[in-house]
Homo-oligomer: A and B are copies of this chain.
């Protein structure tokens, strides 16, 4: 009989408990498929005595994550503590340095310290697997690292945050305001009490930085990601998108351009007929554009204990079968520095919604500002709420009317200049809303 793979598990929250259950439930299948049993032998977590719905009495209890990481008995260290700093960081470093493979679900740690940790893993000839860190149960890391190895990638984009997608789905379907949809998401446990990390796009940005590294063979660099959240999206935007044949999704997009790798997270208009537009609620999805395979889309659960544990267990199984791939596909020393494509040079179509002062010539003046920046308009819609009041010649009496522009492909820079001009003309009220359109 082949020796079992001995697992040390740090973190016994929802994911950790699911990992324990899954390894037990699939004991036989895992042994058959890996050629050896997989056994949890030692665990640790913040509190030993906490009530849990799994029995941990049969596992040895380690004093802390770092102690567990260098425990002589374990072969693989599974880190589901989370957080970019200690104890997760120190524990993962300790395990790798002790020559143990590491499986982690920790996106923050990888986004911040991924390259250094990959180098450490390579130096000690062990695996550093992190399928669960991006898009939960969707095997996108394996697909990029192994499945698409014969391709040059052009673009990767996805819905990587279930909270935001749930909120946008509810807003669209029930015509809810952002705040209402967020409240509902919080009530249902889909959003944290402090939701800013999700709704401001930072969670998506960390995951995107990891995907971009895998996709383009570049160093992970979350600082190179342009980030906008979804709080500014209104039901009016979603209705207008619908009228125009689009849906609004918070996308993470990494794309190879002439100016380098563009990485951006922002609300995005995608054609209703595209695969990504069909993805509703907390579901995640990732689309890859590559030279050989053209387009591949993976759709599945982005979070949840069992789905995340499924990814963790598949990473553990790879270790059990003796598979070791460079953590980011390419050996860390060969990862190229990210040449960050500046957002001002981003090219694409734009949706712009403004509240225009309702007086003659306003639409013409707005259109002129765009024309002066050589931006072609695909459409311009001005929506009156009703008949203009008597004496409408007097601007002070006029109500502002929404004006919606759709531009043909142009640059971020040109759009920003055109909007500055429009603002200087004093023909709009408040800040214009701007949503980028992604070709899918």
Contact = CB atoms under 8 A, between A and B. Distances in A.
Interface of A: 18, 22-23, 25-26, 29-30, 32-35, 131, 137-139, 142-143, 145-152, 217, 273, 275, 278, 290-301, 304, 306-307, 309-314, 317-318, 321, 323, 325-326, 329-331, 334
Count identical subunits in the complex: 2
Nearest to A290: B310
A137 B317 contact: no
26 contacts: A25-B152, A29-B152, A29-B217, A32-B334, A35-B331, A131-B147, A139-B143, A143-B143, A146-B314, A146-B317, A147-B314, A150-B310, A150-B312, A273-B278, A275-B299, A278-B278, A290-B310, A292-B309, A293-B306, A294-B301, A296-B299, A296-B300, A297-B298, A298-B299, A299-B299, A321-B323
Contacts of A26: 149-152
Contact of A138 (B146, B296, B299, B321): B296
A122 B150 CA distance: 26
A436 to B, nearest CB: 23
Secondary structure type dominating chain A contacts: mixed
Contacts of A149: 26, 29-30, 33-34, 313-314, 317
B275 A293 contact: no
B142 A313 contact: no
A139 B313 CA distance: 19
B301 A295 contact: yes
A197 to B, nearest CB: 24
Contacts of A323: 321, 323
Nearest to A305: B292
A19 to B, nearest CB: 9
A32 B331 contact: yes
Contacts of A29: 149, 152, 217, 330
Given A33-B329, A292-B310, A314-B147, A300 B299 contact: no
Given A148-B310, A314-B146, A298 B296 contact: yes
A297 B299 contact: yes
Contacts of A291: 25, 306
Given A32-B334, A152-B29, A331-B32, A292 B147 contact: no
Nearest to A298: B298
Nearest to A139: B147
B142 A147 contact: yes
A292 B22 contact: yes
Contacts of A142: 139, 142-143, 146-147
A151 B275 contact: no
Nearest to A299: B297
Contacts of A137: 292-294, 296
Nearest to A144: B139
B297 A330 contact: no
Please list the 5 inter-chain residue pairs (A to B) with the smallest Cβ-Cβ separation, ordered nearest first: A150-B313, A139-B147, A296-B300, A137-B293, A292-B310
A137 to B, nearest CB: 4
A242 to B, nearest CB: 15
A395 to B, nearest CB: 47
Contacts of A321: 323, 325
Contacts of A152: 25-26, 29
A139 B61 CA distance: 39
A311 B331 CA distance: 22
A23 B295 CA distance: 20
Contacts of A290: 310
A153 B291 CA distance: 32
